[in-house]
């Protein structure tokens, strides 16, 4: 395994859900307070030298310029702050550029994270704002939605590989179960395959329970240069790989609609940098914005061969007691998907798993973890690989 | 005459208003693009020009959208798909004049053009959206 790029010395997560009356900046402070409580030897104003925060859309709260706001509300001013945006992968981008910032030597300690406030809007409004991450002139213009884009991939995957609606439903069943074990999850409720299959149609073949939740939430992490990590904590988690892939914004321009090339590209970079293989991963948080996306992630991450993602969930490999638990947190599906917070929330879960504080959903003995955060219909993907020190 | 038209998305939709499906062809490698670009993303040539393409293609994948964005609420549910044109490029769009249950991957579809009047009606509720003419797919 490669030497660490950077170390995580603390992390925090707000409660996810319909957080009525709580604004984005307040959600971020909630996550920030947890990160500070976990790391008493860190003096926030003295030690944190920059804040990089992901947010997808200013439309929800009619509020741009979130970075200095969160720096101010966290009591960090005059700490400089900047926002990263690559749709749903916005906060994984914050993590990557935070890692690069400490690697550059310019900063010793950086706060990274993300936030999105969404439930103050109606479903059609939220659908429209989320749709803005799709291509305007050809896709939005013709009436596509995000569930619609993933439905196009699901239809193609079903046609090419025989993937079934039942296999997609099993992803929802697994992730809902995991969320019942996560006190911060948005929806802590078991669902059955029948319930998923009989739920309201959103974009055929995707039904309500194939879709992730519209949630409010925030997440953050403190990262530092590896040689400084022990100054702040006895249990640093090392970031050993980081990968970033891009693809066409238009789904229609991609040669193969059943493969997410940005994920393959990011995975190849991250695995190479980390010096690990897919078989070395003990636990992963992947981008299950729709059930088909988790199946396609298995394939692109090398957890199985192309076309065999449906079989992998059917065989129980990725359940909490399987050989490769995926989305122990409940995933975007049931923990919730406050867009800009998702990448950092994935990191938070892997951090808890690797320090052994994941409670009832703890994956025993895990040492190497992975997060995969997808932007839009796959024009961006960021992947990070972590290990216990 | 077409050679002088700008290689812009705006111009692509002006052609749609004239019921012409236009692509740009890269003179370096022959690739066709819809909508137009001014740098070929395959060979990086900057020598591209408008060509008319046949309005026939085959359905690659599709969905039926039940929960639409605000601007399309009066039309839901509607079918939406990606077709591969006979001449090569792929384009996405709404599929009309066919029951969702009768839609199949591989079926032949043609690109048709909305009458301008319909287009104007549809523009209601689309604040801040461009006033482009529309194309859609239907069985031949
Ligand atoms: Zn070319």
- CA dihedral for B49, B53, B59, B65, sign (positive or negative): positive
Instruction: Identify the domain containing residue B28 by its residue range.
Output: 9-52
A378–chain B Cβ distance below 8 A for any pair: no
Q: Which domains does chain A carry?
A: 6-121+215-237 (3.40.47.10), 133-214+240-388 (3.40.47.10)
Mean pLDDT value of segment A151-178: 98
Residue B3: pLDDT over 70: no
CATH number for the domain that contains residue B87: 2.40.50
Average pLDDT, chain A: 97
Mean pLDDT value of segment A144-173: 98
A292–chain B Cβ distance below 8 A for any pair: no
- Percent of chain A exceeding pLDDT 90 equals 98
Residue B66 in any domain: the answer is yes
Mean pLDDT value of segment A273-290: 98
Ligand 1 centre distance from Cα of residue B46 (Å)? 8
Q: Which two tokens stand for residue A187?
A: 């929806």
pLDDT the model gives residue B117: 62
Residues B39 and B95 in one domain: no
Chain B residues closer than 8 Å to A151 by CB: 63, 65
Burial B51-84 (b: 16+ CB within 10 A, else e): eebebebebbbbbbbbbbbebbeeeeebbbbbbe
Residues B81 and B127 in one domain: yes
Residues B19 and B68 in one domain: no
Q: How many residues does chain A have?
A: 389
Residue B121: pLDDT over 70: no
The answer to whether the Cβ–Cβ distance between A200 and B64 falls below 8 Å is no
Mean pLDDT value of segment A322-344: 98
Query: By three-state DSSP, how is residue A178 classified?
Result: helix
The answer to whether the Cβ–Cβ distance between B66 and A203 falls below 8 Å is yes
| Reported ipTM | 0.95
pLDDT the model gives residue B69: 86
Tens digits of residue pLDDT in A170-206: 999 999 999 999 999 999 999 999 999 999 999 999 9
Residue A297: pLDDT over 80: yes
Q: Which residues of A are catalytic?
A: 88, 337
Weakest-pLDDT range from A110-124, A245-259, A347-361, B114-128: B114-128
* Residue A70 host element (H or E): helix A66-73
Single pTM value for the model: 0.97
Contact A96, A384 (CB under 8 A): yes
Q: Which two tokens stand for residue A208?
A: 């309500």
Mean pLDDT value of segment A250-267: 97
pLDDT the model gives residue B6: 96
pLDDT the model gives residue B50: 97
Residues whose CB is less than 8 angstroms from the CB of residue B70 and which lie 6 or more positions away in sequence, other chains included: A124, A125, A127, A128, B125
Residues B81 and B116 in one domain: yes
pLDDT the model gives residue A112: 98
Residues B105 and B72 in one domain: yes
Residue B119: pLDDT over 70: no
Query: By three-state DSSP, how is residue A135 classified?
Result: coil
Residue B118: pLDDT over 60: no
If one counts the domains in chain B, the total is 2
Residues B79 and B134 in one domain: yes
Residue B1 in any domain: the answer is no
């Amino acid at each position: 395994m490669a030497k660490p790029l950077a170390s995580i010395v603390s992390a925090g997560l707000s409660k996810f859900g319909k957080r009525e009356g709580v604004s984005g900046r307040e959600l971020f402070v909630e996550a920030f307070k947890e990160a500070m409580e976990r790391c008493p030897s860190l003096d926030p104003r003295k030690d944190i030298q920059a804040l990089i925060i992901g947010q997808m859309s200013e439309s929800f709260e009619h509020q741009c310029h979130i970075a200095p706001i969160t720096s101010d509300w966290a009591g960090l001013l005059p700490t400089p702050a900047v926002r990263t945006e690559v749709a749903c992968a916005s906060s994984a981008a914050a993590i990557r550029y935070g890692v690069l910032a400490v690697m550059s030597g310019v900063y010793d300690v950086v706060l990274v994270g993300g936030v999105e406030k969404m439930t103050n809007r109606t479903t059609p409004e939220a659908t429209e704002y989320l749709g803005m991450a799709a291509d305007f002139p050809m896709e939005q213009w013709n009436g596509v939605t995000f569930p619609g884009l993933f439905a196009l991939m699901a239809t193609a995957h079903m046609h090419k590989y025989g993937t079934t609606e039942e296999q997609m439903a099993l992803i929802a069943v697994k992730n809902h179960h995991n969320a019942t074990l996560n006190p911060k999850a948005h929806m802590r409720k078991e669902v059955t395959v029948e319930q998923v299959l009989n739920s309201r149609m959103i974009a055929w073949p995707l039904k309500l329970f194939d879709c992730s939740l519209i949630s409010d939430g925030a997440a953050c992490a403190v990262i530092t240069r590896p040689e400084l990590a022990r100054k702040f904590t006895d249990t640093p988690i090392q970031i050993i790989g980081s990968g970033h892939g891009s693809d066409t914004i238009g789904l229609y321009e991609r040669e193969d609609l059943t493969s997410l090339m940005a994920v393959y590209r990011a995975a190849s970079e991250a695995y190479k940098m980390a010096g690990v293989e897919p078989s070395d991963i003990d636990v992963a948080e992947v981008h299950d914005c729709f059930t088909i996306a988790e199946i396609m992630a298995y394939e692109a991450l090398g957890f199985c061969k192309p076309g065999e993602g449906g079989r992998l969930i059917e065989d129980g490999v990725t359940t909490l007691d399987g050989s490769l638990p995926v989305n122990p947190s409940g995933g975007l599906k049931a923990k919730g998907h406050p867009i800009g917070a998702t990448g950092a929330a994935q990191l938070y879960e892997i951090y808890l798993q690797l320090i052994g504080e994941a409670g009832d959903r703890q994956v025993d003995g895990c040492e190497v973890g992975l997060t995969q955060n997808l932007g839009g219909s796959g024009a961006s993907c960021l992947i990070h690989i972590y290990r216990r020190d | 005459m077409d050679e002088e038209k700008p290689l812009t998305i705006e111009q692509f939709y002006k052609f749609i208003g004239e019921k012409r499906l236009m692509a740009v062809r890269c003179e370096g490698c022959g690739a066709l693009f819809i909508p137009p670009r001014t740098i070929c993303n395959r060979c990086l040539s900057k020598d591209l020009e408008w060509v008319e393409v046949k309005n026939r293609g085959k359905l690659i994948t599709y969905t039926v959208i039940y929960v639409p964005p605000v601007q399309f609420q009066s039309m839901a549910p509607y079918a939406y798909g990606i077709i591969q044109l006979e001449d090569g490029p792929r384009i996405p769009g709404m599929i009309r004049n066919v029951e969702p249950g009768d839609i199949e991957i591989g079926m032949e579809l043609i690109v048709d053009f909305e009458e301008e009047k319909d287009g104007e009606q549809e523009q209601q509720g689309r604040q801040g959206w461009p006033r482009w003419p529309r194309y859609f797919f239907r069985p031949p």
